Amino acid sequence: MFRGVRGATTVSVNSEAEILAATEELLAKVIEANQIQPESVASVLISTTEDIDAAFPARALRKFAGWTYVPVMCMREIPVPGSLKMCVRIMMHVNTSVSQEEIKHVYLGNAVVLRPDLGGNPA
């Protein structure tokens, strides 16, 4: 069964180094918390708010061994008035036997406000 694994983080500066570091940290925590192997991943979508444009955050995934052939795409979030700024979000489509309730979604930095109903962050 395929499940969506969500995560989000924020950056304080629109710089290549910060975007890639924050995205790498987020991906590492999502992968670790859910014990995800690259061969079980169908695709990864990564979005940013419109104030982030100094780098493609998808490049961070290529730093992980074994993730070379996992399809990944970047896109822009809808600029809803009053929404969280400087935010990177991920949606990973994973083939797993884990139930929907057991999936561990990860929210870091100021992005913790996006889904407080999911409780604390793993890892």
**Inter-residue contact 28 to 39 (CB < 8 Å):** no
**Six-digit token string for 105:** 């979604």
The set of catalytic residues is: 6, 62, 74, 77, 89, 107, 115
